[in-house]
Structure 1
Amino acid sequence: MIITTSQKASPTIKKESLELANSLGLSYVERHKKPISELFLVDNPIAVVSNKKLTIHFNEEQEHSFHLSMAQLRILRLERNEEDHLVRAIETLTHESSKHISIVDCTLGIGSDSIVIAYAFPNANITGLEASYPIWLSTWFGFRNYEHDNDVVTEALRRIEAIHCDFESYLSDLPDKSMDILYFDPMFEVPIEESPQFKPLRGHTFEGTIKRNVIEEAKRVSRLGFIIKERPFSSVFKDFPPTKWVGGKYSRIGYGVYRNEELQ
């Protein structure tokens, strides 16, 4: 993977891009007004930096840059005191400790869920894990540089620590009961009609699955419990029934809540 700049980048942007590449151990390539098509080497993605924005070009047809996606609408609903199912799922585990909890989003992706969590729990310590390096880089850069019209949302972004790692490796290195809550949003077993924001990522995501070993690790690592987002009839909920279900009456997806104190 290489880092370059937009064709009309200022000397400051070029300097910042070089420093970014060096800090990440990536190669920096001068753009020299070349089209993106001339910079591709085999299947290596290209990160293009412009003013406070980083765009990942997976190939000549697929590109992705950080945006709030559905988190924007969900935050607006929270501002109107409307319910968010993920927030409610977390609240079923936290009770009075919700202001000072540690939460690991094991499937960070484009960051929408972590953004909502950070906004709803401003004092929580939130870590997001993403196994796909290009997607992690885009989200990590967005958390650090994106500026929202609402300063509270910008502050929420800055509080999220994004780590490039798959959740199985990360969890295996954690001590027992070292995190309060874990959250998993794996690829659905039965896909729902693809959302527009995910189309540019097709073929470049890490499709981790929730198996028994993951469930056991989640029980070991989490102090309060963990949450899995899936469709109601998914095999994970049949094989590992949650202690509580959170979701709308007619929702195609929902949140299985696993309270450690209620698990066998």
Structure 2
Amino acid sequence: MIISTAARTNDVLDNRAKRAAEELQHPFVKRRKRSIASLHDMYGTDCLIVAKTRLEYYSFGSTEPFFFHPNSASFRIKRLIRGEEDPFIEAAGLQPGMSLLDCTLGLASDSIAASLIAGKEGTVVGIEGNPVLAYIVKHGLKEWKSPLPELNEAMERISVKQGHYQELLTGLPDKSFDVVYFDPMFTKPILSSEGIAGLRKLAVHDELTKETVQEALRVAKQRIVLKDHYQSRRFSELGFKQHIRPTSLFHYGTIEVDGTSAVSAK
């Protein structure tokens, strides 16, 4: 991957791009008004572009950028403000002041909703395995400005950690988060989910294991939550109680720390 700037650049953008290159350990390349297609042809790799208002990722051969956008989180925040229910918040049992560890951050839609509910006294930490995606989302959460103050505040409160959740979980103290959450890439993709197309190219396709579930139970105070396709075997194989939602293609599953146990690791 190379890192460059928008076609119309300046010293500020150049310096931001150089900092991104240093942090991500990929080369910085002067844009020199070249098109994305020209950069792809010349360097034969993906491009991360530092633009004026956002970071844009162009996978090799693509002319459509992937970038951070609160997307569905905006609608969810509005509904939550109106006092309407959110299936994820209900499954997690989140209340003001609680803490959530999101092990599969992605575009952070669930973490944003959790941050709104947890509030200023709560804590939301998101783990993202792909360094480029983590960088894009970390900066997007701080820099995206919505006309909705509650959304901006919820995004700003989220802490992003880059790394593999399997490793980071083992370094956490016992009962350090109220809820631990997993939203792995679905084994059966939901084809109508347009917003996830670009995300799939950056997503880490790690399989959730029984050993990791046991580690999450150690870290969680109250419960762990799994989001998956309604036909997924993960619910039964990993010991989650599947919460049936008849009109939805994805369901949530839960394991209570002081209740139902996970399937024993073998």
Query: Taking structure 2 as the reference length, what is the TM-score of the superposition?
Result: 0.88
Find the residue that maps to 1:28 and give its secondary structure. Answer: coil
**Aligned partner of 2:82 among 77, 80, 83:** 80
Q: Is the 8 A contact 2:106 2:199 kept in 1?
A: no
Find the residue that maps to 1:176 and give its secondary structure. Answer: coil
Is residue 189 of structure 2 the alignment partner of residue 191 of structure 1?
yes
Distance in 2 separating the partners of 1:205 and 1:249: 28
**Aligned partner of 1:259 among 234, 252, 256:** 256
Q: Is the 8 A contact 2:24 2:132 kept in 1?
A: no
Q: Is the 8 A contact 1:111 1:139 kept in 2?
A: yes
Detail structure 1 runs of 4+ shifted over 4 Å in the superposition. none
Q: Which residue is 1:250 aligned to?
A: 247
Distance in 2 separating the partners of 1:154 and 1:143: 8
Percent of aligned positions with the same letter in both sequences? 27
1:26-53 deviations in whole A, cap 9, x for unaligned?
Answer: 432211111223333333x221111231
Aligned amino acid, residue 80 of structure 1: R
1:189-223 deviations in whole A, cap 9, x for unaligned?
Answer: 22222411122234432112222111111111212
- Kindly indicate whether structure 1 or structure 2 has the higher relative contact order, using CA contacts under 8 Å at least 6 residues apart: 1
Q: Is the 8 A contact 2:24 2:131 kept in 1?
A: no
Distance in 1 separating the partners of 2:13 and 2:202: 27
Is residue 103 of structure 2 the alignment partner of residue 102 of structure 1?
no
Distance in 2 separating the partners of 1:232 and 1:15: 46
Distance in 2 separating the partners of 1:2 and 1:193: 30
1:32-85 deviations in whole A, cap 9, x for unaligned?
Answer: 111223333333x22111123110111231520111121112112212221100
Find the residue that maps to 2:167 and give its secondary structure. Answer: helix
Structure 2: stretches of 5+ with no match in the other structure: 262-266
C-alpha change, 1:215 and 1:23, in structure 2 (3 Å) is closer
Distance in 1 separating the partners of 2:36 and 2:237: 47
Q: Is the 8 A contact 1:180 1:222 kept in 2?
A: yes
Aligned amino acid, residue 58 of structure 1: S
1:96-150 deviations in whole A, cap 9, x for unaligned?
Answer: xx33222111111111111111122213211111112222222112012111111
Is residue 135 of structure 2 the alignment partner of residue 137 of structure 1?
yes
Q: Which residue is 2:9 aligned to?
A: 9
1:211-260 deviations in whole A, cap 9, x for unaligned?
Answer: 211111111121212100113442121223435x4453422212112110
Distance in 2 separating the partners of 1:247 and 1:11: 54
Is residue 26 of structure 2 the alignment partner of residue 29 of structure 1?
no
Query: Taking structure 1 as the reference length, what is the TM-score of the superposition?
Result: 0.89
Count of equivalent residues: 257
Is residue 168 of structure 2 the alignment partner of residue 170 of structure 1?
yes
**Aligned partner of 1:208 among 192, 206, 217:** 206
Q: Is the 8 A contact 1:211 1:236 kept in 2?
A: no
Deviation, structure 1 residue 3: 2.0
Distance in 1 separating the partners of 2:258 and 2:123: 22
Find the residue that maps to 1:218 and give its secondary structure. Answer: helix
Structure 1: stretches of 5+ with no match in the other structure: none
Deviation, structure 1 residue 14: 2.2
Q: Which residue is 2:19 aligned to?
A: 19
Distance in 2 separating the partners of 1:78 and 1:223: 24
Distance in 2 separating the partners of 1:161 and 1:22: 21
Q: Is the 8 A contact 2:88 2:252 kept in 1?
A: yes
Aligned amino acid, residue 250 of structure 2: I
